[in-house]
Structure 1
Amino acid sequence: MFTYQGNRRATPSRRRSRWFLAGGVVAGSLVVGAAGVTGVAALAAPRAPGVTEQGRVAAAARDDGPDAGRRTDDGTPGRPHRPDGRPDEEGAPDGRPDGPGTRRPPLLTVPCDSARLIAALVQANAEGGATVRLAPKCTYTLSHAFQQPDEYDGGIRDAREAADAAENPGDAERPPRQPGDDNTGLPLIYQAITVEGSGATIARGENAETFRFFTVRDGGELTLRDIVLRNGRSTSEGGSVHVVHGATAVLERTTVVDSTSLSAKEGGGGVFNDGNMVVRESRFIGNSAVGVEGKGGGVLNGGVLTMSKTEFRDNSANGYGGGLANYRGAAEVATTLLAHNIAGQGGGLASFSARTKVEDTRVVDNTAKVGGGIANSDAVLVLRKLVVQGNTASGNGGGISSIQGLLPMDDSVVAGNHARGNGGGIFADRSNILVRTSEVSDNAAIGAKSTGGGIHTSAGQLSLFKSKVVGNSSTLPPGGIFADRARVRIDDASVVIENRSTNCAGSKVPISHCFR
């Protein structure tokens, strides 16, 4: 039977023209190679009216793959659908399948069963990552540590410290880790794993052995979202979560409560971060670093930390940083509340040998021996738009203490703080303090020999720009600003008035621009 084929498109030869190859090689691009083909065609055929040379090149460079010219149901170009309405590739609604080797990790839904949660995390690690969705409002109670081989050698930071110790015996910063130091109630995190809590709680049983919930190893990426972690307890850093130097974690709308680090010199009652961590809209309540020198009752950061819209309340540390401690790390904190926390230094916040920036944050009603609200030592601490109020120090620095540090403070209020030592508002020793467009008011140094109700500075530098030191008091004068072996600069736009019993009279260093 004869069938007319005059209108059927001829099948093009798969053999490429030498002109195409030459054009591609000489010009170094497929577009120019396509232009070579177009140029040859132009020599053999007249140009169509209204078609430019650029248009011919663009037409030659267009994709003519197997899906070219096909349309979706709405008429736009795209992958065709099967008769049943599904895309050619099964899986996600957009045609991308879930699981290993794809851009989208699989979703594992976990019923309200602790064993099933453990199994889901084991599967997620084995399959290269997953999203694990918990049962809404469920409490997953763990009664014992999860047993699994862990050949962790201490990671990047510990390896570096081990090398330093080998070169300089006796200089190791901490003793070797013991296997029990890193007990976890859940499998170690080695992959990119997201846990969507849906309001669920993961808790350590009341009489359970000591373990934290999550340890994120080098290369691991853990995201916790809408979840509560309760009663974690670790013999080393991180009562509930430990993020090692080469790992990443994100906490979103996560609450860490009543968790404890027993480490003698480290800490992180709730969380210890030595890697890269982001915390948003989360809460740290009633956590403790109970070691003799424990740091960071709520969070101890030794890596890179970005935090916003977070609350620290009723946390404690025997060393420093009742709420948050940044030790040898870099931290940016914004729109956060630190209230009713307790520590040896820095009841609310401590920055030691670190770089810390805090903005639009309230530090209120915290308590410490030194630096009732904030303590800064051998560090750079940048404060902007802060309220430091109602904090108490049994020693120096009711609101803020800075020892051998740099502390610029802008657009902030330090008010209503108390110290039984010196510096009811701010205490500075061997530090550079810059107070700009800020107010230091109604603070008190109430000890028998206390001075500098507003600011007490020694062996450093204090600069006031467009700021007020007003209404402060101390047992011994001056009640405003006391300086000893320090350089003090007050610009013409600043005022130091109404402090009791004097503003600056009684300071060991005369202070210009200070009303008596």
Structure 2
Amino acid sequence: MSTYRGNRRTARATRRSRWFLAGGLVAGSLVAGVAGVAGVAGAAPNLPAVSDAPALVLRGADSGAGHRDDLREQRRGDLGGRDSGDWDGKPRDGRTERGPQPGRRGEVPVPCDPAKLIAALVRANAEGGAHLRLAPRCTYELTHAFQQPDDYDGGIRDAREAADSAENPGDAEAPPRNPQHDKAGLPVIYHPITIRGEGATIVRDVHAEAFRFFTVRDGGELTLSDVVLRNGLSAAEGGSIHVVHGASAVVERTTVVGSTSLSAEGGGGGIFNDGNMVVTDSTFVGNRAAGKAGKGGGLLNGGVLSLRTSKFHDNSAVAYGGGLGNYRGAAEVQKSAFAHNNAEQGGGIASFSARTRVADTKVLGNTAQTGGGIANSDALIFLRGMEVRDNTATGNGGGISTFQGLLPLDDSVVAGNTARGSGGGIHALKSNLLVRNSEVDRNHAVGAASKGGGVFASLGQVSLYTSRVAGNSATVKPGGLFAEKARVRVDDETDIIDNEPTNCEGSLVPVAHCFR
């Protein structure tokens, strides 16, 4: 807890010494203190008793005008050096009285020199935070990793990893982390630091060793805006930025381009968040999670993420989440776009063992083996106001795939997607799929044995309310909705029409309100 009191002044030392003397602290005895106070009271019989007004008794050695001056001085000290009659809750300079804030020395301009940027961040950490302003449209080219000990490497992260290993025993078999893989080109962020980019670019030299740009460590808070991060390369997670479990970051109007994570089991080609992160009005393009099980080509979330009005295109992941991967995290996505990303599962978005909510977002032209646009596995994903179009799966689920999960789809359009397996629009296996007030139109399952051009459901439950499944096609009937070993509910406000070769005929489970 801070004890900073703004401009408050203490009483003068000589007066404070009389206070201590009257209280008996010099004698070091409570009895002596009581005797001292009694003696003062005897010398000034008109003063109130000690229990009624201790401040007056403790200053009772003074009298007359001097005594009034003492009281006035006491009030001035209690009110930060101002008379009580003048006190309005603000210091004389007009600022509200408060504790020290990062950047109290003002926003610090950083010249167009990477060494000056490094020096500014070193000083910011030494002073407990800062606000930095980069040189407009400058390019800060970094040629080597910044060498420093990682003061907080452990603690919270070790506890988190131990908990994860207990919850997921397979993780205990993962190889230990190599600190040499966890390099950054700029000093680690340990405190609240704001960087206003002014359109500047921070880039790793093409011949430099592998390093990301920012590591935000436990207790650190990074606010980054109006900057381009280019060509980051990390042997661990986070090609450009890594936010650890005990840290937070806000990224605004930032472009992360051409960055790569080589982590075998992690990822986050552009950014890896394991803490708390807000991303707004930002762009992720051409980033890669290139490890053998790399996740989240543009961004991998394992913490708490709020993502708004951002764009992901041409990112890739070896395993899943070409644009965004949410793995054991909680993510909320609003008014964003995912286009032309690719992965083994979830070309645009993947939610694995996670909680994900996506609203008013476009998922267009992505590719994957499973879930060309979106893949959900052992997870909850809530989709509302979605446009899932023109995605392709070489296996199942051209638009959306869900396995052992819950997937409500509301007020959305799933159209023009293609699967070479089954489920041209949506493929649901061992899942609870709810389609409400939505359209599943003109999707195609084109493999030799493909079924369910619109919707394919197996070993779970599928429910359609006030929706439309129309104009879809499959090689093997039905072209509209196919179900096997699944519970199916279709209300009388739902239309399943104009699908080829049939609407529902060929489904192994009868479908109500579906003809032909």
Q: Which band: TM-score by shorter chain?
A: 0.7 to 0.9
Q: 2:393 maps to which residue?
A: 393
Q: Per the alignment, do residues 514 and 226 of structure 1 end up closer, same or farther by CA in structure 2, a change over 3 Å counting?
A: same
Q: 1:131 maps to which residue?
A: 131
User: Aligned-pair distance for 1:431?
Assistant: 0.2
Distance 1:64 1:508 in 2: 81
Q: Secondary structure at the match of 1:172?
A: helix
Q: Secondary structure at the match of 2:448?
A: coil
Distance 1:113 1:141 in 2: 8
Q: 1:213 maps to which residue?
A: 213
Q: Does 1:429 align with 2:429?
A: yes
Q: Is residue 219–residue 247 contact of structure 1 (8 Å, CA) maintained in 2?
A: yes
Q: 2:445 maps to which residue?
A: 445
User: Aligned-pair distance for 1:154?
Assistant: 3.9
- Give the structure-1-normalised TM-score: 0.82
**Aligned pairs for 1:71-470 within 5 A:** 80=92, 87=93, 94=95, 101-102=100-101, 105-106=104-105, 107-162=107-162, 172=172, 174-470=174-470
Q: 1:497 maps to which residue?
A: 497
Distance 2:170 2:428 in 1: 33
Q: Is residue 228–residue 256 contact of structure 1 (8 Å, CA) maintained in 2?
A: yes
User: What are the ranges of 5 or more consecutive residues in structure 2 without an aligned counterpart?
Assistant: 1-18, 20-43, 55-78
Distance 1:78 1:121 in 2: 32
Distance 2:353 2:394 in 1: 23
Q: Per the alignment, do residues 415 and 169 of structure 1 end up closer, same or farther by CA in structure 2, a change over 3 Å counting?
A: closer
Q: 2:34 maps to which residue?
A: none
Letter in 2 for 1:101: P
Distance 1:19 1:465 in 2: 80
Q: 1:49 maps to which residue?
A: none
Letter in 1 for 2:82: P
User: Aligned-pair distance for 1:156?
Assistant: 2.2
User: Aligned-pair distance for 1:478?
Assistant: 0.1
User: Aligned-pair distance for 1:174?
Assistant: 2.7
Distance 2:200 2:463 in 1: 50
User: Aligned-pair distance for 1:169?
Assistant: 8.9
Distance 1:185 1:104 in 2: 23
Deviation track 1:347-380 (CA, whole Å, cap 9, x = no partner) reads 0000000000000000000000000000000000
User: Aligned-pair distance for 1:66?
Assistant: 2.3
Q: Secondary structure at the match of 1:180?
A: helix
Number of aligned positions between the proteins: 449
Distance 1:447 1:164 in 2: 40
Q: 1:66 maps to which residue?
A: 82
Distance 1:79 1:168 in 2: 55
Letter in 2 for 1:295: K
Q: Is residue 102–residue 192 contact of structure 2 (8 Å, CA) maintained in 1?
A: no
Q: Secondary structure at the match of 2:511?
A: coil
Distance 1:250 1:165 in 2: 29
Q: Per the alignment, do residues 19 and 465 of structure 1 end up closer, same or farther by CA in structure 2, a change over 3 Å counting?
A: farther
Q: Is residue 184–residue 214 contact of structure 1 (8 Å, CA) maintained in 2?
A: yes
Q: Percent identity?
A: 64
Distance 2:294 2:80 in 1: 65
User: Aligned-pair distance for 1:101?
Assistant: 3.3
The CA RMSD measured in Å over matched residues stands at 2.6
Q: 1:58 maps to which residue?
A: none
Q: Is residue 269–residue 299 contact of structure 1 (8 Å, CA) maintained in 2?
A: yes
Q: Is residue 69–residue 77 contact of structure 1 (8 Å, CA) maintained in 2?
A: no
Q: Is residue 70–residue 78 contact of structure 1 (8 Å, CA) maintained in 2?
A: no
Letter in 2 for 1:230: R
Q: 1:40 maps to which residue?
A: none
Letter in 2 for 1:283: T
Q: Is residue 396–residue 419 contact of structure 2 (8 Å, CA) maintained in 1?
A: yes
User: Aligned-pair distance for 1:160?
Assistant: 4.0
Deviation track 1:63-107 (CA, whole Å, cap 9, x = no partner) reads 898244449xxxx99655xxxxxx3xxxxx74879xx93475432
Q: Per the alignment, do residues 79 and 204 of structure 1 end up closer, same or farther by CA in structure 2, a change over 3 Å counting?
A: closer
Q: Is residue 403–residue 428 contact of structure 1 (8 Å, CA) maintained in 2?
A: yes
Q: Per the alignment, do residues 20 and 446 of structure 1 end up closer, same or farther by CA in structure 2, a change over 3 Å counting?
A: farther
Distance 2:169 2:488 in 1: 45
Q: Per the alignment, do residues 138 and 406 of structure 1 end up closer, same or farther by CA in structure 2, a change over 3 Å counting?
A: same
User: Aligned-pair distance for 1:108?
Assistant: 1.9
Q: Secondary structure at the match of 1:507?
A: coil
Deviation track 1:6-64 (CA, whole Å, cap 9, x = no partner) reads xxxxxxxx99975996599xxxxxxxxxxxxxxxxxxxxxxxxxxxxxxxxxxxxxx89
Letter in 1 for 2:100: G
